[in-house]
Chain A
Amino acid sequence: QLQLVQSGAEVKKPGASVKVSCKASGYTFRRYGLSWVRQAPGQGLEWMGWISADNGKTNYAQKFQGRVTMTTDTSTSTAYMEMRSLRSDDTAVYYCARAPINTTMIVVATLPDCWGQGTLVTVSS
């Protein structure tokens, strides 16, 4: 069945980097994109960006440009989201979701929607 399995929780110090993985199964990885969404404690959902699993093309939310890098490894059907220069307000649960392959952004998740279980990243000194 469709499944996205994310890496485990991370605790980082301010200024450090974190790399979250998202391993796909149950579908043809290269036919879709991946969206990344985060949710700070007690807050709403925030779209971070999208990557094509076919050609690695990316589209980042303006807020994260220059600080976030999304990549994929088609040999292992795994997507990665790396964030640098972490701050305390980056503390959040980070989700990946299977997205359309289209480069025109319309929706975060394509149907049937499939999300990772979330990865808690805590940034604290």
Chain B
Amino acid sequence: SYELTQPPSVSVSPGQTARITCSGDAFPKQHAFWYQQKPGQAPVMVIFKDSERPSGIPERFSGSSSGTTVMLTISGVQAEDEADYYCQSADSSDNSLVFGGGTKLTVL
């Protein structure tokens, strides 16, 4: 099945822009979904279908795609955004789902 590759860590200062990439052969055929997970908590979806933002998710979260890479962008990062972020997509060859390895976002 497909593999999704994310950088292990990204660090930014408050107010700056964080960009987290996710690369894999699943794209662009399949949609990307992004989840935020804070320590000790269940994941929460922050982007669906590459670039759509669920209700209740701040506007500073956005998603984009280009070829085999998708990106989660957090503009004007706040301390509360410090978390692990996971991309997720599908593998139509065996009807399975796959997560990227996760990226730890540190707000300096």
Contact = CB atoms under 8 A, between A and B. Distances in A.
Interface of A: 35, 37, 44-47, 50, 59, 61-62, 95, 97, 103-109, 111-113, 115-118
Which bracket fits the contact residues of B?
20 to 34
Contacts of A118: 42
B95 A104 contact: yes
Interface stretch (B43-51, B63-71, B75-83): B43-51
B93 to A, nearest CB: 11
B86 interface: yes
B92 to A, nearest CB: 8
A107 B98 CA distance: 9
B35 interface: yes
Q: Give the interface SS of chain A, mostly helix, strand, loop or mixed.
A: loop
B48 A111 contact: yes
Interface of B: 1, 30-31, 33, 35, 37, 42-45, 48, 54-56, 84, 86, 88, 90, 92, 94-102
B97 A47 contact: yes
Q: Interface centre among A46, A61, A62, A109, by most B CB within 10 Å?
A: A109
B96 A62 contact: yes
Nearest to B88: A108
